[in-house]
């Protein structure tokens, strides 16, 4: 029960949490394979883990139907003043929230083991990395954290006696009375779930959910909500962005960071195989980028994660062969269907459905069943090192220098295939007004236009008006060494509702044009919304796309854009006096250019 750690802050915190949560035992994680196997053997013994015959060292889990996704309406940014949290976050006063949660935490780990998980976000010892410690009563969380972060004794060594860390407290909220049998997926009812962030203290408290980002507190909670707040204070950036390296036939490397809302092809782009001859793409990260200004004045990025926590449905050898090849072994699958031959399956994985599976709720499923075999948010947790196109520098502690930022969204009209920002401020305006038509992955009616600034709306840990200002400040610091900013839309449709652009590997053609703009190899033509490729400058050799469709893809209709202005004004009005005046100026300039 009594464990000893050298770090004084950690030692005190473990004692405090143990007294509040009252676990039967305490276990300090060391990050070894032996430990992972021990945790998985506990999960097998309890019936939670189902081994997969077809995939070595891989397991399927089924969550409780009430615990299948991030619960944004139970996610809180708790700051002393409500205005600091801003209009895009749920806010509760810290004293009130802590009082509520302390009462829930009291005795919540009875009958369970309290796991202490020291972890590094980013390569251990990197100047861009941060250390967290998650306390959890879930062995499922321990196994996932092993894959998604760098867990282990080396983290404690770096921490030493006085090093600082971000405390992350998690409980599934399901204490066991003596002799009580556990359930397959223990969790608390929805009204008792809280995913709480205290950015002023760099503290995370989560209660009641065992699923995904609600429980793997290194994921969105630390890597974005808390890290974005720390980054603002310390002068760096924590962004919801993929990172990729593109290498030209001449061997020149370009590093790209891109932010898209959900269902806009982020993971597909991160692992893309270019369709243009001689170009090579390598993945550095599919979800999060932490970036600091290096000694040479450029912006350097690391991927703070060590795994992929990806949405399974829709992932296939047609849409993302590299992701599929990453899932052959050592994977945790959650809420996928189980096939009769001991493999996983989900909608969109194969052209034909299996004749029979056991669905994500553990029931028989056959084609034509009224519900899906896999939950729409079914997930895989896989080591990034298994990706066939993982870049050799993905764990370089210094990071990679970013040349290009890309924003984008899913728009069936108005927005051209690609445009380049006129300036850094204009690029920040593009990020701040980024919008996407909703899909089944979002909450709300399908097809509505939803503003999702920088793809960070659910993840910014402080007032988003101040976040926009932070982007402007970073541009001021970077000066001429700032990355160029572009906006893309792979999803524009023709009048008969068909996609105009083939997408997937052909998106490399758009990236090639961006690289040519960086090197000043091609000029661009001006439009009211930004700089566009000149006719013939986008390499479309070898793809079947008509001149008429290319024209439509690149067209900018002033009337459509004028109709967009009131929506942008409404969006900006949310932020009141916290909206930077420089963004108001960008809006006025856009209106003037539209005439």
Task: Give 15-47 pLDDT, tens digit per residue.
Answer: 999 999 999 999 999 999 999 999 999 999 999
Cα separation, 524 vs 307, whole angstroms: 38
Sketch the domain layout of the chain as residue ranges: 8-30+69-234, 238-306+395-594, 307-386
Residues 240-293 have pLDDT tens digits of 999 999 999 999 999 999 999 887 889 999 999 999 999 999 999 999 999 999
DSSP percent split of the chain into helix, strand, coil, nearest 5: 30, 20, 45
Is the CB of residue 528 less than 8 Å from the CB of residue 556?
yes
Shortest CA distance to 63 belongs to which of 169, 217, 172?
A: 172
pLDDT at 445 (0 to 100): 54
DSSP letter assigned to residue 493: B
Query: 260: which residues sit within 8 A by CB, 6+ positions away?
Result: 266, 269, 407, 408, 409, 436, 455
Distance of CA 66 to the CA centre of its chain: 22
* HSE toward the beta carbon, residue 389, CA cutoff 13 A: 25
Residues 194-207 have pLDDT tens digits of 999 999 999 999 99
Q: pLDDT class for 561, splitting at 50, 70, 90?
A: very high
- CATH code: domain 307-386 is 2.170.8.10
- For residues 392, 396, 399, 401, the Cα torsion angle rounded to the nearest 10 degrees is -40
Shortest CA distance to 344 belongs to which of 1, 43, 59?
A: 59
Geometric angle at alpha carbon 79, from 73 and 84, rounded to 5°: 95
State the catalytic residue, choosing from 21, 108, 168, 264: 264
Residues 283-321 have pLDDT tens digits of 999 999 999 999 999 999 999 999 999 999 999 999 999
264 is catalytic: yes
pLDDT exceeds cutoff 60 at 440: no
**Fold of the domain built from segment(s) 8-30+69-234:** Phosphoenolpyruvate Carboxykinase; domain 1 (3.40.449)
Task: Pick one of 3.30.1300.30, 3.40.50.300, 3.90.228.20, 3.40.50.1820 as the CATH number of 238-306+395-594.
Answer: 3.90.228.20
Token pair of 246 as six digits = 């593109």
How many other CB atoms are there within 10 angstroms of residue 578's CB atom? 17
pTM over 0.95: yes
């Amino acid at each position: 029960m009594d464990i000893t750690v050298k770090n004084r802050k950690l030692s005190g915190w473990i004692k405090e949490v143990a007294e509040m949560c009252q676990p039967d035992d305490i276990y300090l994680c060391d990050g070894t394979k032996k430990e992972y196997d021990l945790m998985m053997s506990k999960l097998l013994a309890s019936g939670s883990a189902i081994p997969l015959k077809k995939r070595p060292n891989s397991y399927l889990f089924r969550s409780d139907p009430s615990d299948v996704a991030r619960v944004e309406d139970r996610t809180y940014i708790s700051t002393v003043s409500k205005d600091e949290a801003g209009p895009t976050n749920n806010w509760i006063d810290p004293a009130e929230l802590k009082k509520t949660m302390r009462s829930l935490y009291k005795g919540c780990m009875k009958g369970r083991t309290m796991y202490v998980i020291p972890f590094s976000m980013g390569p251990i010892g990197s100047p861009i990395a941060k250390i967290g410690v998650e306390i959890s009563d879930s062995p499922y969380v321990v196994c996932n954290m092993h894959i998604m972060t760098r867990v282990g004794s080396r983290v404690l060594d770096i921490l030493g006696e006085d090093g600082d860390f971000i405390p992350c407290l998690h409980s599934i909220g399901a204490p066991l009375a003596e002799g009580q049998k556990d359930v397959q997926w223990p969790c608390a009812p929805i009204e008792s779930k809280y995913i709480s962030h205290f950015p002023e203290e760099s503290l995370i408290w989560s209660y009641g959910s065992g699923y995904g980002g609600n429980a793997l507190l290194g994921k969105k909670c630390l890597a974005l909500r808390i890290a974005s707040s720390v980054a603002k204070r310390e002068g760096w950036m924590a962004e919801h962005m993929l990172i990729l390296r593109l290498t030209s036939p001449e061997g020149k490397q370009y590093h790209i960071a891109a932010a898209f809302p959900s269902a806009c092809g982020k993971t597909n782009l991160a692992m893309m195989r270019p369709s243009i001859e001689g170009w090579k793409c390598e993945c550095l990260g599919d979800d999060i980028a932490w970036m600091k200004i290096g000694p040479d004045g450029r912006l350097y990025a690391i991927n703070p994660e060590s795994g992929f926590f990806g949405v399974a449905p829709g992932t296939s050898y047609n849409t993302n062969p590299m992701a599929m090849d990453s899932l052959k072994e050592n994977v945790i699958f959650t809420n996928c269907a189980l096939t009769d031959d001991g493999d996983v399956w989900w909608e969109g994985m194969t052209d034909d459905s299996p004749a029979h599976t056991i669905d994500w709720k553990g029931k028989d499923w056959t084609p034509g069943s009224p519900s899906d075999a896999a939950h729409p948010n079914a997930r895989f947790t896989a080591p990034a090192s298994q990706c066939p196109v993982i870049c050799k520098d993905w764990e370089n502690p210094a990071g990679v220098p970013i040349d290009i930022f890309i924003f984008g969204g899913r728009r069936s009209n108005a927005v051209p295939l690609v445009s380049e920002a006129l300036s850094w401020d204009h690029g920040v305006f593009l990020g701040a007004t980024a919008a996407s038509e909703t899909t089944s992955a979002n909450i709300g009616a399908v097809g509505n236009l939803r503003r999702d600034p920088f793809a960070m709306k659910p993840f910014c840990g402080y007032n988003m008006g101040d976040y926009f200002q932070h982007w402007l400040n970073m541009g001021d610091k970077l000066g001429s060494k700032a990355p160029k900013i572009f906006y893309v839309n792979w999803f524009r449709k023709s009048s008969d509702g068909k996609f105009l652009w083939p997408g997937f590997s052909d998106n490399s053609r758009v990236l090639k044009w961006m690289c040519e703009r960086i090197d000043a190899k091609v000029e661009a033509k001006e439009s009211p919304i930004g700089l566009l490729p000149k006719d013939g400058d986008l390499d479309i050799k070898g793809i079947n796309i008509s001149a008429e469709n290319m024209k439509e893809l690149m067209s900018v209709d002033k009337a459509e854009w004028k109709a967009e202005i009131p929506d942008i004004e409404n969006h900006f009005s949310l932020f009141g006096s916290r909206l930077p005046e420089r963004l108001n100026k960008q809006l006025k300039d856009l209106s003037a250019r539209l005439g």
